[in-house]
Amino acid sequence: MKLDLSSLRSIKAFADDFKALSLPLNILINNAGIMFTPFELSQDGHEMQFATNHLGHFYLTNLLLDTMKETAKASGIEGRIVNLSSIAHRYPYRKGIKFDHMNDKKSYNDKMAYGQSKLANILHANELSRRLREEGANISVNSVHPGVIMTNLMRHSTLLMNILRIFTCVIWKNVPQGAATTCYVALHPDLKGVSGKYFVDCNECKPSKLARKEALGKKLWDFSNQLIKESKNM
């Protein structure tokens, strides 16, 4: 099914079409992403890396959440949501999320903007996990770093990535290896009931200090909802 994670209109259309099929939804893996892109605004007017890597997944998850809750309740099987983050979440802008200057072209840095979006993935997962626990929903939410993988994701920084690969070749993964942690968190029975955690190489890992700030996660949640609301009113 067609889906453009940088477009809120596309996401809404996808969610409506999916729900019209009346299918169950057990697992949601938020995997779309762009990396180190030149400054650009999405069609909704948001910085493109933040729009695609975080806001699109945030909106999609919210639209599909009731279906996941219904599936988990009807089947008795835990639903699982997995956000693909990155080790780059440790290298965002100084305060983590540029709430007041998200679309400022002059201060834009493609590497830190990517780190900001990956930090947002973890904060989103943690805050959603907290909310679902309070609600008593049978759904876990976790985030993962899949590893350093040579894919088309690197297309905006080919020279830099090729140089880095020469000196860090032993840590690079192929695509199946890169998918392993995501599949583990989404499927392994040992992780039943485990939620609000961050995983690297199929092991729980402590994310950055910013990623563990509950207040920052709550602020990002409200900020994201406000951006979506404003975009829908445009």
Three-state DSSP class for residue 83 = strand
Cβ(50)–Cβ(102) under 8 Å? yes
Q: How far apart are CA 97 and CA 87, in angstroms?
A: 16
Active site residue: 59, 108, 114, 198, which one?
108
Q: How far apart are CA 230 and CA 223, in angstroms?
A: 11
Backbone angles phi, psi at 84, to 5 degrees: -80, 110
98-232-31 Cα angle (round to 5): 60
Smallest Cα–Cα separation from 58: which of 147, 152, 127? 127
The verdict on whether 59 is a catalytic residue reads no
Side-chain half-sphere of 203: how many Cα atoms within 13 Å? 3
Q: How far apart are CA 205 and CA 56, in angstroms?
A: 25
Which residues are known to be catalytic?
108
